[in-house]
Amino acid sequence: MSAADYLKAAKALAKAEDALNGALDRLAAAREAADPERTTPARIRAQAATREAEAAAETAFQAHKAYWRGQAQAAERRLIEAVGPHISEVDALWRLAGGLTSRPARSLIEHMYSAPRPAFTPKVSDVPLEFPDSPALDRSEVEIFDQLPGWKMPASRKT
């Protein structure tokens, strides 16, 4: 996937989050007015908007992963192109030099992994390194589900 695919999914997520925030605002207004005729339909619309935002977030998350997976695969191809010919060369030269290691290039590469290497941070253009959180979805969890009326213990009667 390309950065354009991620940006398209991120734009759809932003649109779904805006719709969700609007639905949550209408739900909050209905609850503030203590109007059950408006509250239940507003809650149902907010729940539907939450599902749509969750689906958009999942699509954007998958596009984010696919973009970075493509970047990793491209880096692997560059590594193979750069190192591949040299592996055979190192093995052949050590064999000619009387080396007893069956695959000296492999041993060298394994040794390189044991030595500390500088951290690498990819250059970012349009796709963030970490998938961003969704404040609208966090808000929906609190405002829809934490506010549902629940069963309460009846007051005890003292005789």
Only one residue has tokens 């954007």, namely 60
pTM: 0.74
Q: Cβ contacts of residue 110 below 8 Å, gap of 6+?
A: none
Report the largest interatomic distance among the alpha carbons of the chain, rounded to a whole angstrom: 102
Which amino acid, residue 150? G
**Helix and strand totals (H; E) in the chain:** 4, 0
Radius of gyration of the chain (CA): 28
pLDDT at residue 99 in the model: 87
**CA separation (Å) from 37 to 19, 24, 26, 104?**
21, 16, 13, 77
Q: What is the mean pLDDT of residues 126-138?
A: 86
Percent of the chain with pLDDT over 90: 48
pLDDT at 68 over 70: yes
pLDDT at 131 over 90: no
Residue 23 CA to residue 30 CA, distance in Å, equals 11
pLDDT at residue 159 in the model: 55
Q: How far apart are the first and last CA of the chain?
A: 72
- Candidates 138, 144, 137; CA nearest to 19 is 137
pLDDT at 155 over 80: no
What does the angle CA 91 – CA 97 – CA 102 come to, to the nearest 5 degrees?
Answer: 40
Chain CA centroid to CA 87, Å: 36
pLDDT at 152 over 70: no
Q: Are 47 and 147 spatial neighbours (Cβ–Cβ below 8 Å)?
A: no
